[in-house]
């Protein structure tokens, strides 16, 4: 069995953080084997690109990265200039335990997905009457 480094962020508050030229306003995770976020608050964070509060990237080749979101986390008034006003992932979808316990309010993304996003599989332009 391989030994991996395990990171855990618990009962923490992230307010007003800025990623002014990249992803992940409060937290940017790049090729981390295991990260667990438990019962945290993300308020008024900003990302110039994706993931106003959290952005995760896993391009390790084996796609062997895990982001676990557990407990009750609060995502309020986070903003991404592209996608995922609260949470964005690149290649490997995070494991969100009991999505109904996660609180999303007032998050915004300029292009798409105010709360949770990944790369779109297909996007089309629609006008209001087609919606």
Q: CA 103 to CA 75: how far, in whole Å?
A: 6
**How are beta strands 27-30 and 103-105 bridged, if at all?**
unpaired
Render pLDDT for 72-107 as a digit per residue (tens, 0 to 9). 999 999 999 999 999 999 888 888 998 899 999 999
pLDDT of residue 62: 67
The answer to whether 109 and 84 have CB atoms below 8 angstroms apart is yes
Render pLDDT for 20-79 as a digit per residue (tens, 0 to 9). 999 999 999 988 889 999 999 999 999 999 999 999 988 766 667 889 999 999 999 999
pLDDT of residue 72: 96
Question: Closest Cα partner for 84 from 62, 110, 122?
Answer: 110
């Amino acid at each position: 069995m391989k030994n991996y480094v395990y990171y855990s962020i618990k009962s923490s508050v992230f307010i007003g953080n800025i990623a002014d030229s990249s992803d992940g306003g409060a937290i940017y995770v790049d090729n981390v084997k295991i990260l667990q976020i438990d019962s945290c608050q993300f308020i008024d964070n900003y990302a110039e690109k994706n993931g106003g509060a959290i952005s995760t990237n896993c391009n390790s080749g084996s796609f062997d990265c895990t982001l676990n979101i557990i407990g009750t986390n609060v995502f309020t008034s986070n903003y991404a200039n592209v996608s995922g006003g609260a949470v964005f992932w690149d290649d490997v979808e995070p494991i969100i335990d009991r999505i109904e316990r996660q609180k999303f309010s007032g998050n915004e993304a300029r292009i798409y997905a105010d709360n949770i996003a990944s790369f779109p599989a297909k996007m089309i332009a629609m006008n209001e009457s087609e919606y």
